[in-house]
Structure 1
Amino acid sequence: AIAEEKKQIESNDKNIQTITEKLKTLETAISKSIEEENEETAKKLGVSLLDLKSRTDKLQQIHALYQRQLSEIKRQERLKLQIEEIKKATEQYKLIIKKKPPYNLSFLDTYLDLQKEAILKKQTAEMAKQHAWNALEDARSKLREADQKVLSLKKGVVLPEKEWSIKMALLEKELAEAQLGYHQILFKNAEYELILADHKLKQIRKIVNWIVQNLRYDPQDLDSQLKRLNKSIEERRDKIATLQSELFKLERALIRTQQKGKRANGEQAAIEAEAAIKVAKLKLEATKDRIERYESEIDLLIQQKEIWKRRYSLLKNNPDYKTLRSWRQEVIEAIDNIRSIIEVQQNRQYDIQLKIEDVQQKLLSDSLSPKLRRYLNEQHTALRKFAEDNFYYLSMLNATNQLYLRLLDELDKERKSKPIREKIATIISIIKDFWSFQIIEIDNQYITIGKIIIAILIFVIGLLFANKATSWLHKRLLSHLHWSTSAIKIVEKLSYYSIVLIVVILALRIVNIPLTAFTFLGGALAIGVGFGAQKLINNFISGFIIMLEQPIKVGDLIEIDDTIGIVEDIGVRCTRIRNFSGLDILVPNSYFLENNVTNWTHGDYEVRAQINVGVAYGSNVQEVKRLLLQAVDEHKEILKYPSPFVLFNDFGDNALIFDIYFWIVMKKIMDRKRIQSEVRFRIYDLFNQANITIAFPQRDVHLDTTKPIQCQILKEKNNLKKEN
């Protein structure tokens, strides 16, 4: 490190020597350039006098940049010395503190303010370094551009008229090089500034940590701070009393000014009266605002007193973890509140500044009368005072906010230092408080969050038990008693709802929640029934009636509104029916008691089916009857009893109509349609073998041929138009 430092010193010495020589050379060049600033030299070089002066300006700019480089190199040496000094001082930071331990909070706050200042300086140094880097990059870019310009001018044959342009381009390049060198030194100095700021911050942090380790409860310091704050509170209360007496006078003065304004004659008098009223209102408003501000300041001072008490309480009483947590929550809420007030006051300060600028613009006018100018000056003074008072209030808000932040930091450190056992005990205590939180009192009994949670758990477990119990009951009934599916469903649902009701009552009794707690709920339910729940209750009651009377059962084939389906489930609100397409249709239970429903399988599964057949006129009707009965008798799924029979139904327009009736067992929706389809296939085969024709619709057309038939061919109108 020492060797590197020596190299750096030697490098700086060389730079200083080099820059000094360049400065001497530039001074000579500048003197010569100034002497050549005449018409004779300009003609000789083939340029204007302005070009010669421009050359001198560039030389002076280069000279100034090297002079600044020299100053920055010297500043760099001073920064290095400061860094070395602060490094040594940081190692012996305890010697910097003149006061010996123990320390009090006031002493700590002094160094906390220095620490805050050091943090801001470091942030400024970081921004300065970034700015220096950006400037350095710009200087490099300009040097590249200047170098490219020189190269482009030197390409090809250098004519006499280009010599001046090349000389000026070389000067611009030299200027760019001087700028680059200057910004390189600036960037290096910015780095040293940041290192210095960082070392200062580290030093102050070490001092702060040392003071914190040796903090002690100091009743004299606490008493001194409280006395100071009490004195400030009393001063503001005295000011409020004085301002309140002035407020009455200002209100009377405003009334008198307004009355004078009403009696003003002429445009100028009206303008002056309006200005006087504004001044009076502003003074009144300012006085009211100062009273409100003093009251707010008293509140802030009271908060500061409480902050000091709690800060010293942390040192003296060692509060438990729960108290620390409670204080921390209060501090966070107070900080949020103060920050919102600061935002409002900043906006207010901006509005006041706009009003001040408006009055200043009016005062610039030369056409103002002496009286109007006086009023505007008074208005300007009042607004300035207004702004000063508001600025002071803002500074007091920031000071209080800073105290809260320090208290918050001290609370967090104290909480971290607490043993884990105490933290766990506090968490358990918080959970207990939440568990026993009282929501409402009914019949001298409190309903707590804990009781509600237990009741919900019992209810959920009861529902699971009800599902398991009814499932077990379903299997037992199905395997041992051989009851019908519908009867088992009824017993299953009644058992389920009975268990649920018992669970609800049991849950309420276990947690000691009185049934009177649901009085309001019962009243609300009654109102709901009266206004909109009639259908729900109607369907609920209808469901139990259907289960008891069993007009329909699970597995029945029913027909409603031209829809045929099998009953899959009967619930307390609706019944689920699966139709021919496999779709589930939900029908309200009340529908079955209020409308006609066809139950194809209510008593048994035997259903009569019918097939209609039309044969051609001239067919052997007895043979038709025999073949129809044969087709039915051959089908195995058609019942022999009741026996099938055939009816000669009608003499139709185109056929002799026969109906054959037979009985089948229909357990599924498609059974009847399937059997009817199979019988029709067999009838067709038998009729075909017996040469019996199944009739189809036909018409006989008779023509009157006693007169010749007149025929005429006509073209459509559209075709005629196209041809035309």
Structure 2
Amino acid sequence: MNNFLIVLNPIAYRSIKFNVIRALICLLILLLLAPVSAAPTSALVGELLKSSNTGGPVQTALDPASLLDDIKKKLAATQAEFAAVPSEAVTGDPATGLPANEDILARRLHLRQLLFIYQGQLSRLPNLQAVQKDRIELENKADNWTGFNEPSAHPFLRADELKVSVASLGKQVDELALWLHTLEIAGTQIVNIAENSIIRLRQANESVEQASKSPELQARLTRKRDLLFVQNQINLARTLGFQIEKQTLQEELLKTRAQLQLARKQLSVASEHAELTQQDIDQVYKNIEVESQDIIAALNQALSDLELENKSAQQEKTATNATNALTPAQLEQLHQAQHNNTDVKLQVLNRVLVYLQMQRDIWNIRWMYAKVTDREKASEAYDKISNYIGLTTAIREYVFQQRQRILEQITIQSVKEIDPTVTEMNTLRDALRKLALDQLVSYSRLLGALESTVSLLERCKQDMDERLHEKSLTDYLDSTLLTIREITSQIWTFEIFAVQDNIEVDGRIISGKRSVTVDKVVTAFAILIVGYWFAAHLSRFIERHAVSRLSMDASLARIARRWILFLQVILLVLLSMMVVKIPLTIFAFMGGALAIGVGFGMQNLLKNLISGLMLLFERPFRPGDVVEVGGIRGRVIDIGVRSSQILDGNGIETIIPNSTFIEENVTNWTLSSRSVRIVVNVGITYDSSIKEVNKLLLEVAERHGLVLHNPAPQVLFEDFGNDALLFGLYVWVEINPEVSWKTIASDLRYMISKVLAENNIVIAFSQRDVHLDTNRPLEIKVLSDVPC
């Protein structure tokens, strides 16, 4: 460890020494090159940077009193400088016809902007002083508060109001902290702009000094430097304005925190032994009744205003030609806006009455369950409160969005007022803006009623949670099951997508969209699964009865069962979609590309299905028939919906698509009869007796038990071969699954070989006779090897 410190310290020392030397060099350069006017600005930016980078809210607080005097001096100096700028240079001299000086014009504009900034700072500094004063008073009050001066006639209501204050102040603290963070991010950019402005001013001073040999160039650079100096003052004033805004927001945050601290102290004291009584309920009902009467009076006034508006609209229509203040289209637009405004006001007042009644019901629930500690008894009220919270929260978000929309409209209208390119009449614009402001007030009133209702619901739910905080194992299980049920309900009703469909509304068919939700899909699959189980059992029942009672072939009954099951599945798919109201247009939702891909994939499947139907109705072969298709010969084992199975002579089962039996030539060896003719060929030597051979072959055929006697066997002398006399034994046999016709042909060959051997008849084989001419000697030649 000591060695590590010995190595580390020289490095740190050299780093510190280098930084100090670099700072001294920079300071000397600034003292030599920077003008006197730039020094105060650099110091000011340094202080502001230091203050903006500090973490504490009041570590480098500004003094509003001293800033007021400083800004007043700057304002007076700027006003004098602005007055000294000749206005003729800005507008041009009409006597001489000389154009305006652009540098002086820009300087005058910058000075005017600087005046506005100083005036704004002077108006904001008193606000900062007031906020500081309030913050100090609230902090002292929060630190020194020990209790209420006098008891309240309604302790529970006071505690309830303090709960509202604590919740509201907590939200304000969070919002102010977020705003302060956002302001600090924007302030960093403002400070960076001020720093860059100082750098440009310093470089301009250097350029003026370097151009001393050229008076004309130096004069032009001096004017440019003076303009940059004014811009620098603007940037510094903006930086100071940012610091004032930041400190004001910090003071507001500290003030709100002090209020929150005081409210929490008061709530802790007020909550002791605060129970809801009948007097509290009576007072609440009385307050709600007073508010309801005020709303009813406002409703009556709104209805009276509506009648007056209708009368004035009629009068304005008759007096339009006389006044010509607004065109008919503009007048119609104004009347429509007035009608909408009145409609919104009436709807808002009615909704406020509804929420006041809801608050009365909530207080009634609080009173009824004020002393209930059994969760089972309070579960109904708890669920009702939870549902109310969800409903009112959603409505509050909607009203907030409507209020934001009206506020955006007012902002757009305000922008139009200062836009010189907008030619809309002031009368119409002012009237529309006034109506929009009325709607803003109405929505704000409704939003306040919703906020009050939601707050009351949350307090009621909080009271029940606190009162029922001791939960048994059953309560935890019930709460867990409730949570699982809510999550399951959300998943169950989740909309996967919507499908275009025709919907019947009030006896009329209109085009609309149907939701495809998780519950519909699961229900459809459940119907399919249960229906398939019933369909499978039904098809097996039909198969058994078809075989036992209708004497149908078992293989045919099995094929019929499969096709019945297939048709039942198609009906089940359609039925399940109809039951859950999923339109068939869902298949169009897959899209063109997916539909094309599925179409190509379904092409072979549909082709085989249709081929299966054709095989079912035409019946070119049945299970057990011996067929030959595509070079494969075997017995048909099964005919399915999509394919069929064939067992060949080697015991190999081959699955062949049904379309193959339609597209290719098929040989059915057992279509109309199972009798087929086979031939056994034999060749004997030329010295054998033909008649005896004929008789022996017929005897062999008659002795074989599987050779049919009708048609009778037949022996044909087919040809004179090169080496033998060729005979063919033609016999008819019946093809059955137990014995192959090849086996019968083999037995016949064994029997023929034995019988011919017993009768000394030789079966011919290939042979060649070589004849030599002995009339003259053989010529013998010796040939030499042929070279390669």
Normalised TM-score (structure 2): 0.45
TM-score (norm 1): 0.48
